Amino acid sequence: MKIFYLKTEQKIEKPQDELFSFFSDAYNLAEITPPWLDFQMLTPAPIEMKVGTLIDYRLKLRGVPIRWQSEITDWSPPHTFTDQQRRGPYRRWIHTHTFVPVSDGTLVRDEVEYAVFGGRLIQKFLVAPDIEKIFAYRTAKLKELIG
C-alpha cells in the first residue's frame, strides 16, 4: 500500500487554547468543509472528545454519497489530537492536528497520512487535487471565521 502525505501550516492570531477548542468541537468541521462536499454530521451533539470517541458523518465525493467514521486516537489538549478513519473512502486516513504557540498567535498544522484505492493514477489525477482544494478552502474559511 503506497502512503501519501499532506502537510499544511497556517498562523492564526489567536491563542492556542482558543484554537484547540474550536477544532476539538466536531461540529465546527462543517464550518470549514467546502459546501460542494455536502458534509453532514451524524453523531448527535454534544460529542465528548477523548481517545476512543467515534464520530460519524456523511458527505459526497464527486457526487457519490459516502459515510465516514473517525476515531480519536490521540487527545493531548491543547497541543494535538489525531483522528483516524475507521470507515470511509480511503484505504488509510490519519489526520493529526497540532497547535503550536508563537509570539503573535498559533501555528495550526495539519498532517495527513493517507492511502487510496486504485493506485497512483487515481491519487495523482483525482484524490490529490481534491484534497488540496479541500485544505485550501479550509485555510481561507479559517481566516474568515477566526483569523
The tens digit of pLDDT for each residue in 93-138 reads: 999 999 999 999 999 999 999 999 988 888 999 999 999 999 999 9
Cβ contact 112:92 at 8 Å? no
CATH number at residue 119: 3.30.530.20
For 19-48, the pLDDT digits (tens) are 999 999 999 999 999 999 999 999 999 999
In this structure, what are the phi and psi dihedrals at residue 104, rounded to the nearest 5 degrees? -120, 35
Instruction: Give pTM, 2 decimals.
Output: 0.94
Q: Tell me the C-alpha distance between 20 and 80, whole Å.
A: 8
Q: How many domains does the chain have?
A: 1
Domain span including residue 84: 4-145
